[in-house]
Structure 1
Amino acid sequence: MAMTTAEFIREYRERDIRQLALQANRFPDVDMPYALDQIQGWQIARRKLPKWAACDGVIFPPHLSMEQCSSEPTAQYKLNLAMEWTERVGHASCMTDLTGGFGVDFSFTSCAFAAATYVERNEQLCHIVEHNLPLLGLNNATVVCADAVEYLSTVEPQTMLFLDPARRDEHGAKTVMLADCTPDVVQLLPQLLEKSRFTMLKLSPMLDWHKAVDDLQGTVREVHIVSVGGECKELLLVLSTVVESELKVYCADLSTASGSSSLFVYTPGSSAPVANSKLKTQNSKFVHEPNASIMKAGCFDELAAAYGVSPVSRNSHLFLSDEPIEGFPGRSFVVERVTTMNKGELRKALVGIEKANIATRNFPLTVAELRKRLKIKDGGDVYIFATTTAEGEHLLLISRKYR
């Protein structure tokens, strides 16, 4: 009995798509290109969007759209942010996503509003989203196939406008400036402010958020730097002229080593520089490594002041304390030994250590070069931080994870 395309997808969705492609001749009645797209999309969704993967009948777009779409944790973060801002502006009637894409962010953020409009110029994506939204239980949404800039000129005032500008130029190269993204948010700024109580921008984590804030001419109220699994994933800016407030930066890590989330909030320029630590080889201390969002924000003075830790040096991005620091936004380690690069000291400090995880911070050698010199394999439960003090001394902090 012949197998339909839908049956094939259900039967083989956990298989390797490369192997399935080689067996295409066995299934003459199956639309194999479509089936392989759906199987690959489901496999990505199982990792990034488990709720979508568990929903029967959802259609997935081509591979690139799946790889570029938001994950469930980052989409949920944007929903929470939208809900907070609807309370601030006292309005939650309607929103429009001007750059809908596969609709992941839209499917989450639209839940904060009575009515929501999805706008996308790619007709194929519009058809997919129109099919998927009812399956996901979203009945407050309207799908519009249109250009974002053209649609913005006609839209009625909204509670929230959402944009995720394309980050590649016409040649496929990644853009690093806000004005180089498509659509050009800087050029659209007057319309965005006029037609929304607040606008949420989703930007590449590669962008310089300081420059983006400057380009948006004092309209940015919040910057959110969002990381998942130790990797910086998104830069979110919230713009508004309805709310007047001091700029705040939110450094969110949605999956820390302990399995919980962490959030560090600060006002830029609010803290004076903290004095460098004085490392001594005989003292046992704790060393703290900030998470990816903190590293992207560059808020090292504010971090040191908030948690009472001392930087090893201005460029090390490692912090020390005499006592454990509960709730530190990053990883903490117990320093068991500190050694210089002196051969004799090294030999003594590394006794019994055959494997270690090595990281270099403001250090003249790469990880590979240092590992070769130390003759230590990768892995194990020992962590070696190679760094340089404010006095220019090269040191190794031999540590183990705290808790």
Structure 2
Amino acid sequence: MNIHILQKEVQDFIHQHEHESSASLALKKSPFEGITSSELASQIDGKQRCRKKIPLWAQTDNIYYPDKLNLEQCSSEKTARFKASLIEPNTTLIDITSGFGVDDYYFAQAAQKVISCEINPELAAISKYNAKQLQADNIDIIASDGVKYIFENKDLKIDYIYIDPSRRVAQQKVFMLSDCEPNIVVLQQELLQRADHIITKVAPLLDITAARSELHHVKDIYVVSLQNDCKELLFVQKKDFVGEPNITAVRIFGEKTQRFCFTQQEEADTAVSFSQPLRYLYEPDVCLTKAGAFKSITKAFNLKKIHQHTHLYTSDIYDEDFLGKIYEISEVIPFSIFKKSKEKLKTNAVAKNFPLKTEVLKKKFKISDGGELHSFFITDAADELIVIHATRK
């Protein structure tokens, strides 16, 4: 952490150039002694990255931005706010892998006290400085191995342990929970002796069933998407909990958050009805499909499925509470008729459960992207290939 960057004239320079290309600035000579042009460029790049992902940091004066990798790995403001909603008021939380500390800032809005452990001393120093700028006085930031800190402070009262284990070990990506660092699978029993709850954030690619088999006392599983991009899987373990966990799909889009809760047993027990396309077409958000809510949503939203392997649904009723996109169908035609047409089509085309991939279809039939029309090339309930033309509601 270069403290010269905190000088007023340097901060003024960063503010004045925050909309310029950081790459271009890195090639110019630094106007400040003790600060390289690459350091200035890194601060400007950091502010630009934070503007969308964690705008509070970009809007706050005198924030010190870490390396690009730390900003890429940190939570967004919206997903961090959601995680904070899982915390009971007036509790103590310890984050044993805090990183840049975005999650901890929002945990601190709910908890009475947050202990933030970061093994990288420079990153811990940056987070500690920024916490003061953000007036987060109930965060205690410690440059330490979080697991070691917990076991060395046995008298410490902890209600929640939060862990975001690294999915990159020895510079290689890993996908099994037991391969991450720290190894929550090995540590879970000891950690549950120190806290009532463990909240573990894992990569969206992780298989939910595989993780459930490795973790004990899982009470809740959250699948969190932001703008139809699956961002996080959260496993909440509760000491001595026995039973089937609730799975909650969480859709965050704009300023709105939607939830759909179910269990794997409910999903297995749900009978699905199939139908040809009706008035409305329902396309589930990625949080639903990742969570495995393929059947239970038909019961909850009174939907019929178009085909067992075509994850699109239909109804004559419009339900704005559905977690996903809803379209009003204007035309349904057999693919055999569509392919005979010589008319050039401008539409947002997508193939689902169809023998041709989307890009192949667009090239073969000279389909151009754009406009308000959406076209779905799918297999229907009668195993026939059809094309659905629809507009977004």
Q: TM-score, normalised by structure 2?
A: 0.92
2:275 aligned with 1:270: no
CA distance in 2, matches of 1:313, 1:93: 48
Alignment partner for residue 12 of structure 1, among 6, 17, 24?
17
- Please state whether the residue corresponding to 2:166 is helix, strand or coil: coil
The aligned amino acid for 1:124 is E
Cα gap change, 1:255 to 1:360, in 2 (>3 Å): same
- Please state whether the residue corresponding to 2:247 is helix, strand or coil: strand
The aligned amino acid for 2:28 is Q
Cα gap change, 1:135 to 1:28, in 2 (>3 Å): closer
1:149 shift after superposition: 2.7
Question: Are the aligned partners of 1:290 and 1:329 in contact in 2 as well (CA < 8 Å)?
Answer: yes
- Counterpart of 1:158? 158
Structure 2: gaps (5+ residues):
1-7
Question: Are the aligned partners of 1:198 and 1:242 in contact in 2 as well (CA < 8 Å)?
Answer: no
- Report % sequence identity: 29
2:182 aligned with 1:183: yes
2:110 aligned with 1:127: no
- Counterpart of 2:374? 383
Alignment partner for residue 280 of structure 2, among 276, 286, 291?
286
- Please state whether the residue corresponding to 2:98 is helix, strand or coil: coil
1:251 shift after superposition: 0.7
CA distance in 1, matches of 2:273, 2:365: 27
Show CA shifts across 1:97-147 (max 9, x none): 100100000111122222221111101111101111111111122221112
Cα gap change, 1:345 to 1:95, in 2 (>3 Å): closer
Alignment partner for residue 300 of structure 1, among 294, 300, 307?
294
- Please state whether the residue corresponding to 2:261 is helix, strand or coil: strand
2:143 aligned with 1:145: yes
Show CA shifts across 1:17-46 (max 9, x none): 112122226666743222111111111111
2:388 aligned with 1:397: yes
CA distance in 2, matches of 1:230, 1:27: 43
- Counterpart of 2:239? 241
The aligned amino acid for 2:350 is A
CA distance in 2, matches of 1:98, 1:29: 34
Alignment partner for residue 229 of structure 2, among 211, 228, 231?
231
Deviates more, 1:40-49 or 1:385-394: 385-394
Alignment partner for residue 252 of structure 2, among 239, 251, 254?
254
- Please state whether the residue corresponding to 2:201 is helix, strand or coil: strand
Show CA shifts across 1:310-339 (max 9, x none): 111221111111222231110011111112
Q: TM-score, normalised by structure 1?
A: 0.89
Deviates more, 1:3-12 or 1:284-293: 3-12
Q: RMSD of the TM alignment (CA)?
A: 2.1
- Counterpart of 2:5? none
Alignment partner for residue 362 of structure 2, among 360, 371, 377?
371
Show CA shifts across 1:321-370 (max 9, x none): 1222231110011111112221x34456x86x631011121111111111
Question: Are the aligned partners of 2:28 and 2:37 in contact in 1 as well (CA < 8 Å)?
Answer: no
CA distance in 1, matches of 2:324, 2:119: 40
- Counterpart of 1:194? 193
CA distance in 2, matches of 1:386, 1:318: 11
Deviates more, 1:270-279 or 1:119-128: 270-279
Question: Are the aligned partners of 2:169 and 2:180 in contact in 1 as well (CA < 8 Å)?
Answer: yes
Structure 1: gaps (5+ residues):
87-91
The aligned amino acid for 2:165 is P
Question: Are the aligned partners of 2:163 and 2:200 in contact in 1 as well (CA < 8 Å)?
Answer: yes
Question: Are the aligned partners of 1:157 and 1:194 in contact in 2 as well (CA < 8 Å)?
Answer: no
Cα gap change, 1:30 to 1:143, in 2 (>3 Å): closer
- Counterpart of 1:167? 167
CA distance in 1, matches of 2:41, 2:24: 10
2:306 aligned with 1:312: yes
Question: Are the aligned partners of 1:4 and 1:29 in contact in 2 as well (CA < 8 Å)?
Answer: no
Question: Are the aligned partners of 2:224 and 2:233 in contact in 1 as well (CA < 8 Å)?
Answer: yes
CA distance in 2, matches of 1:71, 1:329: 20
1:267 shift after superposition: 1.8
2:354 aligned with 1:356: no
1:287 shift after superposition: 0.9
- Please state whether the residue corresponding to 1:383 is helix, strand or coil: strand
CA distance in 2, matches of 1:245, 1:94: 26
CA distance in 2, matches of 1:7, 1:22: 20
